[in-house]
Amino acid sequence: MKALLLIDIQNGFCPGGNLPVPDGNQVLPVANKLIDSGKYDLIVASQDWHPAGHGSFASAHPGKKPFEVGTLSGKPQMMWPDHCVQNSKDAEFHPDLHLGAVDFIQQKGQNPAVDSYSAFRDNDQAALTGLAAYLRNKGVTELDLCGLATDYCVKFSALDAVEMLPGVTVRFIEDASRGIDPAGVKAAIDAMRARGVAIASSKEVLA
C-alpha cells in the first residue's frame, strides 16, 4: 500500500499568503503530476488549521514581531505572522491543487497553547493528530511526502513518520517541496537522510 502525503499546500504558504514560502506555488505542478500519476493507492493532505489568536502568532504576544523568538507554554517559540486561521481564505488549499483526488485531510495546529509543524503530532509530542493510526489502519507500507515548508512542517512530518510508522519506507520528494531558508533546507535534508528517509526527485518517483 503506497501513500502520498501532501503537506500544507495552502494559500497561506504560497505567494500572496500571510506566511509565504519563497516559490511555494512552484510545488503545485509537480504535486499534481504525482497525484495524477496512478502510482499511489492513497493520497492524504495535511492542513494547518489554527484558531484565531494562536499562541505561535506574534500578534498574541504584545511587543513581539514576526520571526522573533519568544516563548509558548514555557518553551522557545518562533513567532509567526497570523496564518492559516480556521475558515479563512489563507487556510484553504491552493486552488490549483488537485484536491478532488485526496482521500483524507488531516488538520493540525488547533491547540492554541502549542505549535504543530508535523502532520503527526504537536511540537511538544504529547498530542497526536491521528494520522499515524489512520495510515497504519490502511496498511500503508510506503509513504512519499512533499510540500511546504521543507525546513519546518515537511521535515518534522518525515522524522515523525520514521518514528511512528516502524517498517514503513519513507521518502521525501525534493522538487515537490520548497523551504523558507536555504541553510535550513540543507540541514533538514541532512536530518531526514540521517534518520533513514530516502531523498528522491519526482522524475525518479514517476519513472
C-alpha cell at 133: 493510526
**Residues making up the chain, counted from first to last:** 207
pLDDT of the residue at 117: 96
Q: Is the separation of the CB atoms in 17 and 74 below 8 Å? A: no
- CATH number of the domain to which 199 belongs: 3.40.50.850
Q: What domain range includes position 15?
A: 2-50+86-206
Answer whether residue 69 is part of any domain: no
Assess if residue 73 is contained within a domain: no
Per the CB < 8 A criterion, the answer to whether 156 and 182 are in contact is no
Instruction: Please identify which residue in the block is written with the cell numbers 499568503.
Output: 17
The three three-digit cell numbers of residue 111, written as one number: 491547540
pLDDT above 90 (res 29): yes
Helix (H) or strand (E) holding 177: none
Tell me, yes or no, whether 135 lies in a domain. yes
Looking at the annotation, which residues are catalytic?
A: 8, 108, 153
Mean pLDDT score, 88-95: 98
CA atoms within 13 A on the CB side of 101: 20
State the total domains in the chain.
1
Decide if pLDDT at 79 tops 90: yes
pLDDT band of 92, cuts 50, 70, 90: very high
pLDDT for residue 9: 98
pLDDT at 197 over 90: yes
Q: What is the mean pLDDT of residues 81-87?
A: 98
In tens, the pLDDT along 119-174 reads: 999 998 889 999 999 999 999 999 999 999 999 999 999 999 999 999 999 999 99
Residue 57 lies in a domain: no
Query: Across all residues in the chain, what is the average pLDDT?
Result: 97
Q: Which pLDDT belongs to residue 126?
A: 86
Decide if 187 is inside a domain: yes
Q: What is the mean pLDDT of residues 67-81?
A: 94
* Separation between Cα atoms, residue 84 and residue 19, nearest integer Å: 9
- Positions of E strands within the chain: 2-7, 42-48, 69-72, 75-78, 104-108, 142-147, 169-173, 198-200
In a domain, 97, yes or no: yes
27 located within any domain: yes
Position 108 confidence tier, pLDDT thresholds 50, 70, 90: very high
Report the run of H or E that residue 156 belongs to, with start and end: helix 155-164
Q: How far apart are CA 171 and CA 146, in angstroms?
A: 9
CB atoms under 10 Å from CB of 127, counted, come to 14
